[in-house]
Structure 1
Amino acid sequence: MYLYKIITQTSCLLRNLILNKSLYLVTASILAVLIATLYPFNFSLINNFSIQTITDRFDNASSFADSINNILLFIPLGFSYTAFLQNIKIKPINKFLTIIIVSAGLSLTVETLQIFLPSRSPTPADLANNTLGGIVGMICFYIWHSPSFIYILSSVENWKLSNSNKKIAILFLIYIVLSFLMGLPWERTIYLSNWNPNYPLLLGNETTGDKPWRGYISDLHIADRAVSKNQLSELFDSQDYLNIFGDSLISSYQFTNKRDFQDNTRQSPELLPQGQSPYIVDSQSIALSSNYWLKTGTPTTLLNKRIRKSSEFTIITTVATADTNQIGPARIISISSGTLRRNFTLGQQQNNLDLRIRTPITGENGTDTQLSISGIFANTNTHNIVITYSQANIQVYVDNVQNFYSFNLFELIPIEQRLFYYAPTFISLGICLTFLTIIARKKIIFYRLLLPSGILLPSLILESVLVINSHKSISLTNILIGIFFTGGTMLILRVRASELLKKQF
């Protein structure tokens, strides 16, 4: 009796230690989320606080990298909280619902607090990504936790579906459909969905006044669609922009010796002088410098929203640098709120023309992918520049139709960044394929078909989606990365399953 009491007390003590350890991990995960999402904690009150203010602050979209980061950030929380729930023994469905509620609740709290942080931008998509991260963390726990993993394997192996060829084929079709669905986030990266509507238009500097450009600008025209190749010659020859673009022309500024700089379409705010009095070079251009630049009095909200909706634009300007060695890059044209957040910037870095365009691929500062053309500002000659964006493709024409430069954002993503982006997509599919092959193991023909096709097809599907939607070149490297993550994940899980089953028997 005394021995039984000692064993019982020891068991309770160990259980409490495990519970406390899990609780410490949960606490650490929550603190990590709060620090990562709210630092530097520079909270400030909002003037005229209202429902409309909250709605406006939430009017943001995540970049592709932010979406991945938000999923990864909540994986430790999902993992540690599942470990905590495992120790208090509640039903699996209740665990699943609890993880969703806790992840979504913490995410909602964080996103709401970000309304009061000038350095943060709350995003509705983060709620879904954070919740998904919590669920992924739960899945990771069950794969790591040996008893749970063995139980799942046994359940899958003994599933009635494993005896039906037809049902296995249906599961494989579902897997292929899932591969297509995994490509949807990639497809959306070609859109300008994360353009912020609250940024002003600036010429010759940033709002902070620390990125000045010395040079001359004659005109600026912005449309919410990409000009076609057939219209380019007409654009350079006649410069009748209203006739070419029609209602798509959002802004049209001419810089002459008049003192005001109104948008000729009357859709964008007036550009107001910043700094000292302007020095007009001639009747067709204006000089910009560290002492004088232009900025709209209010954000160019209509312009930003229309470009965000169409996910296309054409920007036309005539400029001449006054210094061929400017750095920063020095801002010629910018739609931004400062040095770290922008929708678009045309700048000069020494004699190079630099572009920063905010997309889900390039991030909120437009710097995740390098867009530079060398030698454009090698002299002080005047250049007529046309920039177009459509479906991840950027075209830059300088002075004539024949002198053009082309970029595809997908082709410019660095290899290490591609690995980071591809990992969540194909590791998830690798987990699904593992269980699918376990179900089909009794059917040799299906098993031999599922194994190679299940590894190869998702990678081919994603690459096909990117090629079709952005007209980029087929990349063997991308296909091999997808195969590596899908096949590697399946191999690791199968090896772990074999080791656990050997230990069990």
Structure 2
Amino acid sequence: MFLHNIITQTSCILSKLILNRSLYLVTASILAILIATLHPFNFLLLNNFSIQTITASFDNASSFEDLVNNILLFIPLGFSYTAFSQNIKIKPINKFITLIIISAGLSLTVEVLQIFLPSRSPTPADIANNTLGGIVGIICFYIWHSQSFIYILSSVENWKLSNSNKKIAILFLTYIVLSFLMILPWKATTYLSNWTPIYPLLLGNEATGDKPWRGYISDLHIADRSVSKNQLSELFDSQDYLNIFGDSLISSYQFTNKRDFQDNTRQLPELLPQGQSSYLVDSQGVALSSSYWLKTGTPTTLLNKRIRKNSQFTIITTVATADTNQIGPARIISISSGILRRNFTLGQRGNNLDLRIRTPITGENATDIKLSIPGIFAHTNTHNIVLTYSKANIQVYVDNVQNFYYFNLLELIPKEQKLLYYALTFIPLGICLTFITIIARKKLNFYRLLLPSGILLPSLILESILVIDIHKSISLTNILIGIFFTGGTMLILRIRASELPKKQF
């Protein structure tokens, strides 16, 4: 009896220690989130704080890097909270719901507080990504914690679904539908949804004045839609861009033999001189240099919003460099707030034409994927440049339809970034496939069909839709990467299950 009391008391003490340690981990996770998202804590009070102010402040979008960081940041919270709740009698479904509320609530609080931080930009997508990170933390805990993993596997294996071929088939079809849904985040990476509305239009420099370009620009036209190859010949042969684009033409500036630089469509602000007051305008256009460039007096909000909404645009310009070896890249046309944040830049590096287009995969400064066309500025001749963007496809035509260059952003994603993207896409599918095959294990014929098709189909579905819809080239490597993450995740979980005591599982 005495020994029994000692064992009971010792167990209570150990349980309290585990509970306290888990609570410390939850607290540490929350503090880490607050520091990572709110540092340097330079809060400022807004003069006109209102619902409209809050709504306008949330008009931002995440990049790929933000997506990954926001998921990773909340994984420790999900893991430590689940460890803490193991010592409290709470049903698994209640744990799951509570964690979603905690993760979403904490994320929303952080995003609202970021309104008062000049160095931060609140983003609606961050709330969803943070919540997803908390859910990933729960999954990681249950896989790591033997008793919880045993309980889940045993429950799945004993589901009544395992006795019905029809229900197993429906479950697998749901898995295939989920594979199709996984295409949506990939397509979202090609949208221009993260363009910032409040950036101005600049010609010949950055707003900070430290990336000057030396050369001439005679005209600039911007439309919020792409053009087909059939329309390109007309663009080079005709100057009637309003007739070609119609209402899609957002701006049209002419710089030859003029003393003011108004937008001919009257939709964008006037371009105003920056630097010295004297400047040269002749039949070749306006001369831009380190001492003279142009900037719209107010942000080109209409331009940025319409391009962001349609996720496509066409830019037509006529330029001539005055120096065939410029560094920076020197900014010819830029929609930006400085050297670190931009929506778009057309520039010159050496004698190359450099492009920066902001998308979720190119980053806030559009530098994660570098685009360059060699030799365009090898001489000081005038060039007529047409650049069109749609669904990750960038086409640049120089002087005529035959001289064109093509890029697809999805084909240029850096290897590390691509692996992370594929991991985020296919690891959840691998987890789902594990449970489906456990359910179908008693149905041997179904099991033999589901196992290979469940591993192969999601990767084929993703690659096929990207090829058809985004017009990228088919890649066997991408298909194999998807198969690796789906099958590898399932294999790891099955090995983990086989390591558990058979009498428990």
SS of the residue aligned with 1:247?
Answer: helix
- Structure 1: which 5+ runs fail to align? none
Match of 2:492 in 1: 492
Aligned equivalents of 2:259, 2:43: Cα separation in 1: 40
1:207–1:43 Cα change, 3 Å: farther
Match of 2:223 in 1: 223
Aligned equivalents of 1:276, 1:136: Cα separation in 2: 56
Task: For 1:137-286, list aligned pairs within 5 A.
Answer: 137-286=137-286
Aligned equivalents of 1:54, 1:257: Cα separation in 2: 45
Aligned equivalents of 2:449, 2:278: Cα separation in 1: 73
Aligned equivalents of 1:338, 1:487: Cα separation in 2: 45
SS of the residue aligned with 2:294?
Answer: strand
Structure 1's consecutive aligned runs of 4 or more residues displaced over 4 angstroms after TM superposition are none
8 Å Cα contact 2:386/2:396 also seen in 1: yes
Aligned equivalents of 1:141, 1:97: Cα separation in 2: 16
Q: What do the CA deviations read for 1:12-55 (whole angstroms, capped 9, x no partner)?
A: 22112111221222122222222322233333333433222221
Q: CA deviation at 1:475?
A: 0.7
Match of 1:386 in 2: 386
The yes-or-no answer on 1:344 pairing with 2:363 is no
Task: For 1:364-383, list aligned pairs within 5 A.
Answer: 364-383=364-383
SS of the residue aligned with 2:250?
Answer: strand
Q: What do the CA deviations read for 1:176-217 (whole angstroms, capped 9, x no partner)?
A: 011111111112222211111111111111112211111111
Letter in 2 for 1:63: S
Q: CA deviation at 1:380?
A: 1.6
Q: CA deviation at 1:503?
A: 7.4
Letter in 2 for 1:22: S
Letter in 1 for 2:115: I
SS of the residue aligned with 1:274?
Answer: strand
Match of 2:132 in 1: 132
Aligned equivalents of 1:313, 1:149: Cα separation in 2: 50
8 Å Cα contact 1:383/1:399 also seen in 2: yes
Q: CA deviation at 1:375?
A: 0.8
Aligned equivalents of 2:320, 2:44: Cα separation in 1: 42
SS of the residue aligned with 1:340?
Answer: coil
The yes-or-no answer on 1:463 pairing with 2:463 is yes
Aligned equivalents of 2:75, 2:329: Cα separation in 1: 38
Letter in 2 for 1:317: T
Aligned equivalents of 1:406, 1:278: Cα separation in 2: 39
- Structure 2: which 5+ runs fail to align? none
SS of the residue aligned with 1:279?
Answer: coil
8 Å Cα contact 1:278/1:286 also seen in 2: no
Letter in 2 for 1:470: I
Aligned equivalents of 1:501, 1:271: Cα separation in 2: 74
Range that drifts further, 481-490 or 84-93: 84-93
Match of 2:323 in 1: 323
Letter in 2 for 1:212: P
Aligned equivalents of 1:36, 1:337: Cα separation in 2: 24
SS of the residue aligned with 1:168?
Answer: helix
8 Å Cα contact 1:362/1:369 also seen in 2: yes
Identity rate of aligned residues, in percent?
A: 87
The yes-or-no answer on 1:361 pairing with 2:361 is yes
8 Å Cα contact 1:257/1:280 also seen in 2: no
Letter in 1 for 2:85: L
8 Å Cα contact 1:356/1:367 also seen in 2: yes
Q: What do the CA deviations read for 1:336-369 (whole angstroms, capped 9, x no partner)?
A: 1121211111011111111110112212211111
Match of 1:443 in 2: 443
Aligned equivalents of 2:9, 2:405: Cα separation in 1: 75
Letter in 1 for 2:466: L
Letter in 1 for 2:242: L
Aligned equivalents of 1:383, 1:118: Cα separation in 2: 41
1:327–1:45 Cα change, 3 Å: farther
Task: For 1:416-431, list aligned pairs within 5 A.
Answer: 416-431=416-431
8 Å Cα contact 2:203/2:334 also seen in 1: yes
Aligned equivalents of 1:271, 1:228: Cα separation in 2: 29
8 Å Cα contact 2:33/2:73 also seen in 1: yes
Letter in 2 for 1:297: G
Range that drifts further, 347-356 or 9-18: 9-18
Task: For 1:99-110, list aligned pairs within 5 A.
Answer: 99-110=99-110
Q: CA deviation at 1:130?
A: 1.0
Letter in 2 for 1:457: L
Letter in 1 for 2:27: T
Match of 1:477 in 2: 477
SS of the residue aligned with 1:372?
Answer: strand
1:207–1:49 Cα change, 3 Å: farther
Aligned equivalents of 2:276, 2:46: Cα separation in 1: 32
Aligned equivalents of 2:417, 2:81: Cα separation in 1: 30
Match of 2:71 in 1: 71
Letter in 2 for 1:339: I
The yes-or-no answer on 1:115 pairing with 2:115 is yes
Aligned equivalents of 1:307, 1:74: Cα separation in 2: 33
Q: CA deviation at 1:243?
A: 1.3
Q: CA deviation at 1:284?
A: 4.3
CA RMSD in angstroms, aligned pairs only? 1.5
The yes-or-no answer on 1:43 pairing with 2:43 is yes
Aligned equivalents of 2:418, 2:501: Cα separation in 1: 35
SS of the residue aligned with 2:501?
Answer: helix
Aligned equivalents of 2:278, 2:308: Cα separation in 1: 33
SS of the residue aligned with 2:295?
Answer: strand
Q: CA deviation at 1:483?
A: 0.3
Letter in 1 for 2:9: Q
The yes-or-no answer on 1:313 pairing with 2:295 is no
Q: What do the CA deviations read for 1:40-81 (whole angstroms, capped 9, x no partner)?
A: 333333343322222111011222342233222211111111
Match of 1:61 in 2: 61
Letter in 2 for 1:365: N
Match of 2:303 in 1: 303
Match of 1:288 in 2: 288
Letter in 1 for 2:280: I
Letter in 2 for 1:411: E
Q: CA deviation at 1:113?
A: 1.4
Aligned equivalents of 2:479, 2:41: Cα separation in 1: 42
Letter in 1 for 2:368: D
